[in-house]
Structure 1
């Protein structure tokens, strides 16, 4: 099996909502475990997500968790996730969902000087995304 790069996003208290949102965006199977299921009992973290994993039909794996009490959290600033390929409809669908519902477009998804369509947005949970759709006849996309 080849190595895989799996983005892991840290959340303050909204990992469940964010991971369910990403499941709506990308589809697939989402599994989540809480701190309470693994020994936190009735503590303040019992309902927070200790680990969530989304396995999509497209082959993506996206993971995330809530920061337990006492652990510092910096919302979305340490990661940008890049999606690239040549399936226009699929990538545009992801873009539309990620940038809507409270998301912010920082660079519109449009044709760039290198021939691809490229855009950047921040979703409603503070995670930055880049989407790159390979131009016609491009063998390999940027990003």
Structure 2
């Protein structure tokens, strides 16, 4: 069985800003489809706001993110300590570079990036959209 998994994020109306930001962070290929570009919305159970993202996919080395704009009046925040995305880098410099990019782009460092009790380098950073990224570099054994 061949299986792939991609997190799907429902943004509270700002997917059109979020996906270009993730494209800047990770590189790769970004595809964005807005509801405006659809040939017809006849039969949809809602009326999307102008420019709303129906579906976006970012495919980059080691990561695929998908998502769009959620619809409704009471959308939950993406910020949560209940989930996070673990990124495993090959080097401390790459990991620190990622953390610096996220913080420099309006995010916030959570747990400092340092040696963890299990021997790996580990830290946490939350981007400006509320997504927490756990950053790891395996210990050289």
Runs of 4+ in 1 over 6 A off after TM superposition: none
For 1:97 and 1:110, locate their aligned partners in 2 and report how far apart those are by CA, in whole Å: 17
For 1:127 and 1:134, locate their aligned partners in 2 and report how far apart those are by CA, in whole Å: 22
Q: 1:17 Cα deviation (Å)? A: 1.0
Task: Give the structure-2-normalised TM-score.
Answer: 0.83
Q: What stretches of structure 1 of length at least 5 have no aligned partner?
A: 138-143
Residue matched to 1:59: 62
For 2:104 and 2:49, locate their aligned partners in 1 and report how far apart those are by CA, in whole Å: 30
Residue matched to 2:2: 2
Residues 99 and 3 from structure 1, CA distance in 2 versus in 1: closer, same or farther, beyond 3 angstroms? farther
Secondary structure of the equivalent of 1:107?
A: coil
Deviations, residues 21-70 of structure 1 (Å, cap 9, x unaligned): 111110011000011222348x55231001000011x13111121112x2
Task: Give the structure-1-normalised TM-score.
Answer: 0.82
Residue matched to 2:49: 45
Q: What stretches of structure 2 of length at least 5 have no aligned partner?
A: none
For 1:44 and 1:51, locate their aligned partners in 2 and report how far apart those are by CA, in whole Å: 13
For 1:50 and 1:128, locate their aligned partners in 2 and report how far apart those are by CA, in whole Å: 23
For 2:73 and 2:63, locate their aligned partners in 1 and report how far apart those are by CA, in whole Å: 28
Contact 1:36 1:47 in 2 (8 A): yes
